Amino acid sequence: MDFSGMELDEALRKFQAHIRVQGEAQKVERLIEAFSQRYCICNPDVVQQFHNPDTIFILAFAIILLNTDMYSPSVKAERKMKLDDFIKNLRGVDNGQDIPRDLLLGIYQRIQKWELRTNDDHVSQVQAVERVIVGKKPVLSLPHRRLVCCCQLYEVPDPNRPQRTGVHQREVFLFNDLLVVTKIFQKKKTSVTYSFRQSFPLVEMQIHLFQNSYYAHGIRLTSSIPGGERKVLIIFNAPSQQDRTRFSSDLRESAAEVQEMEKYRVESELEKQKGVMRPSLTGAGPVPGGGVKNNETVNGTLSRPSLDDSYTMGEGLKRTALSSSLRDLSETGLHC
């Protein structure tokens, strides 16, 4: 996703339109972590305004908590987080420095005006696709999954041999993390049913375009295997140059996006194995009334690799009894 030139809360709104940010605390933390890394890459100038690039992660996390607190029906009106509470909670999080008040004021006012909501359209769309594909297939309806495009291609068993026009027609569904290959099973006036053929995860997938005397718009998909070699997954021929360009562009973008997410996941796992773990932002101790200790700080080093290795994080997000814990995300969701 491209977050270039966007305010942090606006970028988070775009991110959440595609990915449901709710569930278990660790899952939410990983999603916000991946979002923060991507935002920093897209906005290096913004990152330089802070003393510690990890402040982006803390602020994104605080926005999610603010949104949940502000719109959760389980939080009474008199206990909703006020602007001063929001600012106080973030005091000193930028390597001991405060985030500019005007920046926090703008975020607070925009969240107050527009709730962060997950766009459920992509979920319904994936469910609709899953219903029309028959046969033994992987589970398609997952919260993070969205349909990128659907196109008609022709599978090529051997690129060095010709085949009759129209043979091996395939209906290909490209999701943001998976490629599903089908063929038309049954076609009626008002509906079409597809039979599942095979599917390929986009992680480690590479796209190679080719042209020879038999196939003018060839597409070869490969994946890495142990030993550094690459395995050919499937070969297609597109009906036209325009179709090939559109499909390959969408596929490259989706593969790059999922590869980046996988990279952060692997790096996080490696750091955990080394014993360098980020303190949980949900580890604040309970106080009477079900909140968390006021102005409690969490010391330690973030498990997420920083954009600048010279930065380390000394304090975690400070929260009061007015702020919602991550458990609220699991119990109430974000009104999706």
Residue-level pLDDT at 310: 29
Looking at per-residue pLDDT, the higher value among 239 and 285 belongs to 239
Looking at per-residue pLDDT, the higher value among 211 and 294 belongs to 211
Q: What percent of the chain has pLDDT over 70?
A: 77
Residue 320: pLDDT over 80: no
Q: What percent of the chain has pLDDT over 90?
A: 40
Looking at per-residue pLDDT, the higher value among 81 and 314 belongs to 81
Beta-carbon contacts of residue 307 (< 8 Å; ≥ 6 apart): 40, 47, 53
Looking at per-residue pLDDT, the higher value among 68 and 226 belongs to 68
For residues 213-233, average pLDDT: 90
d(CA 223, CA 50): 39
- pLDDT tens, residue by residue, 142-175: 878 888 889 999 999 999 999 998 899 999 999 9
pLDDT averaged over every residue in the chain: 79
The answer to whether the CB of 31 falls within 8 A of the CB of 21 is yes
Least confident of 59-68, 237-246, 253-262, 293-302: 293-302
d(CA 324, CA 73): 12
Q: At what angle do helices 55-71 and 25-42 cross, to 10 degrees?
A: 130
Residue 198: pLDDT over 70: yes
- pLDDT tens, residue by residue, 77-134: 888 999 999 999 999 998 899 999 999 999 999 988 888 876 555 677 888 899 999 9
Looking at per-residue pLDDT, the higher value among 171 and 3 belongs to 171
pTM: 0.51
Beta-carbon contacts of residue 92 (< 8 Å; ≥ 6 apart): 98, 315, 318
Q: Which amino acid is at 10?
A: E
Helix (H/G/I), strand (E/B), else coil: 140: coil
Phi/psi at 301 (5° precision): -110, 135
Q: Which amino acid is at 120?
A: D
